[in-house]
Structure 1
Amino acid sequence: MSILPLPSPFLLLLLLPFLVISQPTTTKNDQTILLNLKRFWSNPPSLNHWNQSSNPCKWPEITCTATAITGITIPYKDINGTLPPFICDLKNITHLDLHYNNLAGAFQTALYNCTNLQYLDLSLNYFVGRIPDDISRLSAELRYLNLYENSFTGDIPVNISRLLKLSSLQLHQNQFNGSFPAEIGYLTELEELNLASNQFTPSRLPPSFTGLKKLRKFYMAEANLIGELPGNLSGLTALELLDLSQNQINGSIPSDLFMLKNLTEVYLYMTNLTGGIPDSIEALNMKIIDLSANMLTGKIPDGFGDLTHLTNLTLMFNQLSGEIPVSIGRLPRLQNIRIFDNNLSGQLPPDFGRYSDLEVFEVSLNQFTGNLPENLCYSRKLIGLAAYDNNLSGEIPKSLENCSSMRKFMVYGNRFSGAIPDGLWKVSKLELMMINGNSFSGELPDELAPKLSTIDISYNKFSGQIPTRVSSWTSLRVFKASYNQLDGAIPQNLTALANLETLWLDGNQLTGELPGTIVSWSSLNTLNLSRNELTGQIPDGLGFLEVLTVLDLSRNHLSGQIPSQLGKRLVLLDLSANDLTGAIPSQLNNGAFDRSFLNNPGLCSDNPSLGLSSCSSRFKTRPSSKISTKLVAVIASTAVILLLLVVLMSRYVVLQRRRKYGLDAEWKLTPFQKLNFTETTILTRLTESNVIGHGGSGKVYRIEVNRSGDFVAVKKISSKKDLDQRLEKEFLAEVEILSKIRHLNIVKLMGCISCDNSKLLVYEYLENQSLDRWLHQKKAPSSRGLNSSVRHVVLDWPKRLQIALGAAQGLCYMHHYCSPGIIHRDIKSSNILLDSEFNAKIADFGLARILANGSELTTMSTFAGSFGYMAPEYAHTTKVNEKIDVYSFGVILLELTTGKEANNGDEHSSLAEWALQHALGNAPIEDALDNEVKEPIYSNEMTGVFKLGLLCTLKLPANRPSMKEVCQMLLGYSMAAKMRKNGADVAD
């Protein structure tokens, strides 16, 4: 075989001109058009590389053939303005992609001049108005049209059906409030149709849509569909995915739906479909079925066992009964099964996991009996096992100790017994183990899985001592072992767990003294050691734990005095039923801890609300009956002198304070209601010991105004010279707004005190302070006055839902019932205050403004707000409306449901961005919810509020709901949660 020689350098030189000519280039005219386009958009920095000295075909946003520009792709470039009318001067353009920018205005009919256009993507922008009736004048070659998430309104024009070559039509998440044409059914080339998340007039699904023979994916969730589904869905012969969830569809599931041979995914959750699942399930290629959150009854048909391609089976939140067909456990491709919250019973099919790569197994909240299937993790791919709240019994399969893929193991609320397999404690990826409420026995392991952060073994029969090697449990954040049979002393090594946040060891048989050195518990916020046999003194170190807010040491045999440092940040405290002695420390000597010290005969307090004997009476001596007249005179004279000294000293202190706070100036008190204090009462008590917080404008004080124990909160506006003008405006804005509005969920402004160089706002005092302190354990100078009358609640889900509804009602009042309407502009969890019953009140109106003409936009001269809460449009425009408050409130809803902070989604994004990416991913929404408060009984409402948070934080303001709509939805969730709770109480 001969080898051809390489071309000589001389030959390459001869070929070089031809090689250069063959590279893509453009005409000078096309380059000029592109540079004009850049100037039209005010020269965005992202297009700085567009210049006259370079070839446009080398710009990453431009696609070329050998002689012409054919494509423009400029997403995520923060381009502002409108679509230029000359864009179609690029005569050969076939591809135009400008998605995810800030383009606005009406649909540009100049696009009709792009006669070769095949691909048009204007999604995720701010286009408004109606789609033109003559939309069919777009290129006859158009195959892809994407206008997703803009603000188009009105009807979808009938003439869109004349774009006969369309294969993909994306019109979801707009503001269409008219009709959609049945003529869409004539687009015979259509493969993907998405009309979801629009508020169309109530309409039935047109029978003509069943003629879309090439349609593979059909999305029409949240589109106001009503009536029954058409009976000829089998006409959609190519259909692979059908999503009609969250509509008002009723009736039963058409029997021919599952005859579609290519159908792999069906989503019909949150509709009103009733009846049973059809027995005639013949879709042999079915991969995903989601019929959750309907009102389906009856049994799971045996035909499901014939769906050999099925990967996902989702039937949760229905009323299905009977047993799971044994054949479902043998499906060869089954990966996810979610059938929780039904009335299913009988034994779980024993072959689950034996013949498939099972990843998710969720069968909770049913009435299953018998054992867990032995082979659930046969393929070593099981990630989550949730079988809680059933009647399952027996021992945990030993095979699970080799399940290296498992992250979550939840079997609480059953009748399991025996020991936990040794290897299960150490599964390398295990993060969550909840096995409480069973009859498990045995001792705690010396070693845990390296990622295991949450363990709940409460209400079992674990015994023995806490292992001394507990210090190796380094990832542990939550450890709940209440009501077991643990004994022995609490090892010192337990205090080495720096990540530990919650520790419950109550209801055991622990003895000995508490560990003396506990400074390593730097993250601990909840400690419950009640109902044990502990002795000795309360360690002083507990008072130095920075984030400890809940402490329960009740019903032990603790003795000695209460450490003076204790109580700096405590919200809930119970030291009752011990052998403690001495006086209550000053920081705890108030009504907030009125039941914290009962049944300690040796304790005393002069505060009658604590229910203890008086310290004064214990040390009172009996006066002598023989006192000379001379002695009486001396005592009287001394008393008079002392009284004069007190008066003089008081006047001196007042004068010093008046000088310190500028009291020499003329102060003016402006009351907005009847007051029981004067300006002097406030001014003389502005001391550091009364500081409870710091705001952007100055300090906040908690001040007692009378002997009855009434308090007010005083916000002092700082007076730095370079901030005077801005702060003056903030002061005037807050006074103007709060003095005029009255609402249960808006903080009450009682009055203002002002002089030339200082401003004070006097509010009602709210005992439980701000929401962010409860959600994120924020530090504050003092926890003084935090109310603990609701002692069984530490922001559980019902309380969070109550707070969300209250704050929403306050905002709704501001937006819709004040005339003119009010925008707050700085809604965040630190500006939601809580009273003693956890009723929410909106505060801090320093950034709020009154809308000039109702709903009209108001141009702001300054930029304000807090990172993580600011709506995206606020970053590039000063024109704002009430939807910026809706966005911020949506972030609060995400905080309430996930427990995360607004600026802490993950290492790359804010909470709103993180939540959206989570929802768009494959992980279930339930995984995003806060494990600290997540309960099966409320999972439906928590998921709903999470989704509402996503809706409120949509990029386009027009797509966000109004606060009136948000209130209605939260009220519905609140009622549903109460019904579930009442139902559970009855069941208990």
Structure 2
Amino acid sequence: MAKTQLTSLFFFFLFISIPITVIHSQAINDERAILLNLKQQLGNPPSISSWNSSSSPCVWPEIYCTAGSVTELHLREKDITEKIPPSICDLKNLTFLDLAWNFIPGEFPIMLYNCSKLQVLDLSQNYFVGQIPSDIDRLSSLISLDISGNNFSGNIPISIGKFPVLQRLYMLQNLFNGTFPKEIGNLSNLEELGMAYNPFIPMEIPREFGFLKKLTYLWMKETNLIGEIPESFNNLSSLQYFDLSINNLEGRVPSGLFSWENLTIVYLFKNHLSNEIPKAVDALNLVEVDLSQNNLTGTIPEVFGKLQSLRFLNLFSNQLTGELPAAIGSLPALKDFKVFQNKLTGVLPPEFGFHSKLEAFEVSENQFSGDLPGNLCAGGVLQGLVAHTNNLEGEIPRSLGDCRSLRTFQLQNNKFSGEIPSGLWRSFNLSTLMLSNNSFSGELPSRVAWNLSRVEISDNKFSGEIPAGISSWLNLVVFKASNNLFNGEITKEITNLSKLITLLLDGNELSGELPSEIISWESLNTLNVSRNKLSGQIPAAIGSLPDLINLDLSENRFTGEIPSGIGNLRPTSLNLSSNQLSGKIPEQLDNLAYENSFLHNTDLCADDPKLKLRDCNSILKHDRPKKSTHRYVTVIVSLAVVVSFVVFVMIFFIVRDYKRKKSSQSLETWKLTSFQRLNFSEWNILSNLVDDNLVGFGGSGKVYRIEIDRSGESVAVKKIGNHKKLDHKLEQEFSAEVEVLGSIRHRNIVKLLCCISSEDSKLLVYEYMENQSLDKWLHRNKGSFSSHLAVLDWPKRLKIAVGAAQGLCYMHHECPTPIIHRDVKSSNILLDIEFKAQIADFGLAKILARHASSHTMSTVAGSFGYLAPEYAYTTKVDTKVDVYSFGVVLLELVTGREANSANENMGLVEWARQHSLNDQSIIEILDPEVKESSCLEEMIMVCKVGVVCTRPSPSTRPSMREVLHVLQSWCSEDGQEAKKVGSEFDVMPLLGGAGATYFSSYRYDEGDNKVYNV
């Protein structure tokens, strides 16, 4: 009986389960059909090619299922360009929809109202336009809504405050130019609110926002806020992140604002707050405070010294006065302390650094006096000490000489004295040492830190000779030692510093001749040795320095003629006054542009009378020799010419036969490795490596242009090495170039045709680029090739920017293993006959491991002015170091300035950042040669992109994919303006996670044929 009952139960459940299985299978089939139809309506994006009719949707990467039914759809960054089809809501159980970072056009998709179970909706970073619908609250189940980075405009509707369960609301970086409603304060469950970067009409913060008691995150940066912060904000007891920066707020910070128990970060910088910092700062859990770039006045409240958890105190760029509270120096968690650009006085608390591990200490541009605290590096992690432009005095504490973590040390414009601690010069990671305008004394050391690239010690009392050991300062880029007491000769070992860009030795007591072996200074653009006792002739090699634009040799005892090569340089600034020079000045310098360059040289002459020099023609007449003497000289010279010609012909044939014999014997020692189909042999290349074909010098060798057939087709050949054996570094660069270029193909990356190698030399053969490198076109005042170039117009510059971005984007995002170039600069962007850009010179490139996000380098390599700051600090590199360098190139394109010389006081990045606050300020720095009303908007956009790419923190820079997307939006394939949506972006890492990127937008409106921006 029991057995019969069990059998009956078995069949009963079997008959029940069969229909359930059938129903489940049918549901899967239905949802698969819906999704395949959706894919077709979205234009069959290649990125969702895994969707097919033979597998369950629940195994597709973009789909998540619950109980066998589709509940989540993840279509972020899938290159979708079509509108959202209504069929998407046929997925009846859909709760999560992510369509961010696509190209979806149209107005807000009200068809999503039919997705009745939708809880998370992310439409950010698309091309949506128009107003938010007034009945948006019909999406009543939403927990999270993100519409950031679109073109929504007008008012934010009152209905936005009617979501009953909404926890996250992000509307930042749109074109909202109306109002936002006080009803947002009714969202009782809201935890995160982001409204930043919107051009709302000027309005006050509604007091109702103070009712959001669950709010942990409030981001209303640059939203045109006015008035005071409402007192009701004292009720925001859960707030952790608070940003109201770049607005027009005024009045006092509410008295209870810092008493929130869980507050961790406050950002109020760059407002127009005019009252004092409130004294009610008593939150012991406060971790970071940033009130920088305001107009705050008064003293720093004593209560800041009670914040035992405070790690980051940032009060710079205000009008603060008075002394620092002594207790701040004793805070146990303090890491970053920045109060520069205020009016603070008194002494720096001596306890700074003794109780905490300080990493950054920046107190410059105040009125501090007394000694520098001696314990700043007690924790052993201090990276930056910036205390310039104060009234500090005394000696540098000996303890700082043992601080191996220091990377930048800036004490210029103070009253310090004594000698520099010997250990400071050799501090392991030190890259910048700036001590100008003090009373320091002592001599220069022979050994310094391996990475020291900038030394500024002008206007002090340093003495002695420049040591021969300076040849070991191999990474030195800037050396400013004006107005000291140095004596003796300028040692020839200083010519070993091949990375030098600026060398200032003026105002000393140096004597002897200027070293003639200066050809290695190929990057030097400024040389000033004026006001010394130098003698002898000016070395002819100065005229072969390709980048030299500022030359001052005045007030010395130089004799002889001016080398003709200096004329070829056409320097921007030239001063050879007050010497004993003679002869005719070079023809290229015989014009009014150099009217003050040759004063007080009595034996110099010129053809142009406006230069106020003697007339060369009258001198020739006066000194003409007698006729008989002239006849004898003519006969002697003629005989010498004939003899010389005969000897030359004999030597030519002997040498030619020898070379042919030697070449035929040695050809077997060369190995050719091809990467493309070749129409030449190694003999075509090797036989033409002669000086007549030499077109330039690279960082690792010579560059030749060689014709390979009678049609004039040419190749570029880079010869790595010379008559000596290759060193290990050059071998590494050759291997890196071959490894990278031999394995990748892209239209915007220079094509490596083959390599030819022997024991002593390596040859790399590329396509020849007729228009050479970008820097020669942008900076036309240097080099023989550049001198006759026309102005590079803006459409070409924008086309070049897009092409270079395409090449870098391919390297970073499309190669099987990402490639970091590490030396992106305008001289490494080559241009073909049609000005198509190609990335070149991969000698420093690194291929990342497949899953690696960064790579640690044993040495820092790259070019000064283009190096990302974190590269010099940490030697850890990822793709963001290329983004930084590319940003510098963009700034070169829009300003026409060089990376290291925007003006005499700062580099291009800092200069552009100071002018990036508004469009009018940006217009002032645009290249006047191409600045026209028709291209202003594009140039402003590219300048802002460059500023964002060069942000100090790598996490706040965009990826090259994002940069390319922005640039392509303004430039079509043929280089003309693209009539499609473009965007200007800003990057801001979100706290509490890995970070996220948000974009504000420029948008093209087909209706009125205009481009609108934030």
TM-score bracket for this pair, using the shorter chain length? 0.5 to 0.7
Superposition pairs for residues 486-885 of structure 1, below 5 Å? 486-569=486-569, 570-621=571-622, 774-776=897-899, 832-834=927-929, 841-842=931-932, 884=938
> Residues 32-47 of structure 1: matches in 2 within 5 Å?
32-47=33-48
Q: Secondary structure of the equivalent of 1:81?
A: coil
Q: Which one-letter code corresponds to 1:887 in the other structure?
A: M
CA distance in 1, matches of 2:186, 2:224: 22
Q: What residue number does 1:371 align with?
A: 371
Letter in 1 for 2:71: T
Alignment of 1:252-401 (within 5 A): 252-401=252-401
- Inter-CA distance 807–365: structure 2 relative to 1 (3 Å threshold): closer
Residue by residue, what CA displacement relative to the aligned partner does 1:23-63 show, whole Å, maximum 9, x if unpaired? x9971222222222222222222222222234333332222
Question: How far did residue 777 of structure 1 move?
Answer: 8.6
Displacement of 1:445 in angstroms is 1.6
Pairwise CA distance, 1:298: 1.6
- Kindly provide the CA deviation profile for residues 250-303 of structure 1, in whole angstroms up to 9, marking residues without a partner as x: 112221112211112111122222222222222111112222222222211111
423-432 or 45-54, which moves further after superposition?
45-54
Alpha-carbon offset, residue 149 of structure 1: 1.2
- Encode CA deviations 1:408-467: one digit per residue, 9 max, x unaligned: 111111111111111111222222111111111111121221222111111111111112
1:127 maps to 128
Q: Residue 480 of structure 2 aligns with which residue?
A: 480
Deviation at 1:65, TM superposition (A): 2.4
Separation in 2 of the partners of 1:538 and 1:115? 84
CA shift in 2, pair 1:555/1:290, >3 Å: same
| Offset, 1:148 | 0.9
Corresponding residue for 1:436? 436
Please give the alpha-carbon distance, in whole angstroms, between the structure 2 residues aligned to 1:593 and 1:543.
16
Q: Which residue identity lines up with residue 239 of structure 1 in the other structure? A: L
Distance of aligned partners of 1:885 and 1:104 in 2 relative to their CA distance in 1, 3 Å threshold: farther
- Comparing 91-100 with 553-562, greater Cα deviation is found at 91-100
Does structure 2 conserve the Cα–Cα contact (< 8 Å) formed by 1:151 and 1:958?
A: no
Q: How many angstroms apart in 2 are the aligned matches of 1:917 and 1:128?
A: 17
2:988 maps to amino acid: L
Residues 372 and 187 (structure 1), Cα distance of their counterparts in 2 relative to 1, 3 Å cut: same
Change (3 A) 1:609 1:920: farther
Measure the CA separation in 1 of the matches of 2:275 and 2:159: 39
In 2, the alpha carbon distance for the partners of 1:435 and 1:467 equals: 19
Which residue type is aligned with residue 232 of structure 2? Answer: N
Match of 1:183 in 2: 183
Contact 2:28 2:57 (C-alpha < 8 Å) held by counterparts? no
Matches within 5 A, 1:39-118: 39-118=40-119
User: What is the aligned length?
Assistant: 717
2: distance between equivalents of 1:963 and 1:116?
39
1:167/1:284 CA distance change after superposition, 3 Å: same
1:178 Cα deviation after fit: 1.6
| Cα distance in 1 between the residues matched to 2:105 and 2:111 | 15
Pick from 957, 971, 974 the counterpart of residue 1003 of structure 2. Answer: 957
Q: Distance in 1 between matches of 2:46 and 2:201?
A: 43
Contact 1:345-1:368 within 8 A present in 2 as well: yes
Bigger Cα displacement from structure 2, 38-47 vs 320-329: 38-47
Q: CA contact under 8 A between 1:891 and 1:911: conserved in structure 2? A: no
Q: CA deviation at 1:802?
A: 12
Do the aligned partners of residues 596 and 793 (structure 1) sit closer, same or farther apart at CA in structure 2, a change above 3 Å counting?
A: farther
What is the letter of the counterpart of residue 38 of structure 2? L
Deviation at 1:564, TM superposition (A): 1.0
Tell me the residue number matched to 1:920.
988
Secondary structure of residue in 2 paired with 1:367: coil
Counterpart contact for 1:351–1:373, Cα < 8 Å:
yes
| CA 481–773 in structure 1, closer or farther in 2 if over 3 Å, else same | same
TM-score relative to the length of structure 2? 0.65
- 2-structure distance, mates of 1:584, 1:43: 70
8 A Cα contact 1:806 1:841, kept in partner: no
Counterpart of 2:298 in 1: which secondary structure? coil
Structure 1 SS opposite 2:385: strand
Q: Taking structure 1 as reference, are residues 372 and 555 closer, same or farther at Cα in structure 2, changes over 3 Å only?
A: same
Q: 1:215-243 CA distances to partner (integer Å, 9 max, x unpaired)? A: 11111121121112212322101111211
Normalised by the size of structure 1, how large is the TM-score? 0.66
Map of 1:757 onto structure 2: none
Counterpart of 2:558, as a letter, is L
Q: 1:553 to 1:174 in 2, by over 3 A?
A: same
Q: Give deviations 1:203-226, integer Å, cap 9, x for gaps.
A: 211111111111111111211211
Decide whether the 8 Å contact of 2:151 with 2:1001 is kept in 1. Answer: no
Cα separation, 2, equivalents of 1:289 and 1:232: 21
Give the AA of the match of 1:30: E
Query: CA 1:833–1:209 in 2, change beyond 3 Å: closer, same or farther?
Result: closer
Q: Note if contact 2:894-2:943 (Cα within 8 Å) is conserved in structure 1.
A: no
Letter of the 1:620 partner, please give it. Answer: K
- Structure 1 CA distance, aligned partners of 2:986 and 2:383? 17
Question: By how many angstroms is 1:792 displaced?
Answer: 7.7
Secondary structure at the aligned position of 2:208 is classed as: helix
Q: Residue 777 of structure 2 contacts residue 789 of structure 2 at CA under 8 Å; is this kept in 1?
A: no
Structure 2: distance between partners of 1:291 and 1:470? 44
Q: Which stretch shifts more, 127-136 or 402-411?
A: 402-411
5+ residue gaps, structure 1, are 1-16, 625-691, 703-710, 718-768, 779-789, 813-827, 835-839, 849-881, 924-949, 970-988
Aligned partners of 2:155 and 2:176 also within 8 Å: yes
Q: Could you tell me which runs of 5 or more consecutive residues in structure 2 were left unpaired when the two chains were aligned.
A: 1-16, 626-769, 781-786, 794-891, 968-982, 992-996
C-alpha spacing 1:192/1:406, structure 2 compared with 1 (3 Å): same
Paired residue secondary structure (2:898): helix
Aligned to 1:174: 174
Cα distance in 2 between the residues matched to 1:296 and 1:699: 46
Distance 1:595 1:148, change over 3 A: same
C-alpha contact 1:534 1:557 (8 A) present in aligned 2 = yes
Match of 2:756 in 1: none
Tell me what 1:762 maps to.
none
1:310, distance to aligned residue in structure 2 (A): 1.3
* Aligned partner of residue 368 in structure 2, secondary structure: strand
CA contact (8 A) 2:1003 2:1012 kept: no
Q: How far, CA to CA, are the matches of 2:295 and 2:422 in structure 1?
A: 42
Measured after TM superposition, the shift of residue 887 of structure 1 is 2.2
1:808 Cα shift?
A: 6.3
Change (3 A) 1:770 1:219: closer
Q: 1:468 to 1:888 in 2, by over 3 A?
A: same
Report the identity percentage: 44
- The whole-number CA distance in structure 2 between the counterparts of 1:236 and 1:613 is 81
* CA–CA distance in structure 2, aligned partners of residues 791 and 173 of structure 1: 33
Tell me the CA shift for residue 482 of structure 1. 0.9
- Specify whether residues 885 and 367 from structure 1 end up closer, same or farther in structure 2 by C-alpha distance, changes over 3 A only: closer
User: Per the alignment, do residues 792 and 577 of structure 1 end up closer, same or farther by CA in structure 2, a change over 3 Å counting?
Assistant: farther
- State the alpha-carbon separation in 2 of the partners of residues 107 and 716 from structure 1: 42
Pick closer, same or farther for the CA change 1:303–1:76 going to 2, 3 Å.
same
Instruction: Report the 3-state secondary structure (helix = DSSP H, G, I; strand = E; otherwise coil) of the residue aligned with 2:546.
Output: coil
Structure 1 Cα separation of the partners of residues 964 and 398 of structure 2: 39
Secondary structure (helix, strand or coil) at the match of 1:507 reads: coil
Distance 1:405 1:83, change over 3 A: farther
In the superposition, relative to structure 1, how do residues 776 and 348 fare at CA in structure 2: closer, same or farther (>3 Å)? Answer: closer
What does 1:869-908 align with in structure 2 at a 5 Å threshold? 884=938, 886-891=940-945
Contact 2:899–2:908 (Cα < 8 Å) also in 1: no
Corresponding residue number in structure 1 for 2:28: 27
- 5 Å-filtered alignment, 1:100-249, equals 100-138=101-139, 140-249=140-249
Give the C-alpha shift of residue 905 in structure 1.
Answer: 9.6
Q: How far 1:64 sits from its partner (Å)?
A: 1.9
1:957 maps to a residue whose letter is R
Q: Write the distance in 2 (CA, Å) between the matches of 1:623 and 1:496.
A: 45
| Secondary structure at the counterpart of residue 231 of structure 2 | coil
What is the distance in 2 between the residues matched to 1:799 and 1:918?
19
Deviations 1:769-789 (A, max 9, x none): 9976642599xxxxxxxxxxx
Q: What SS is found at the alignment partner of 1:126?
A: coil
- Determine if contact 1:150/1:956 at 8 Å carries over to the other structure: no
What's the offset of the Cα at 1:106?
0.6
Q: Which amino acid aligns with 2:898?
A: L
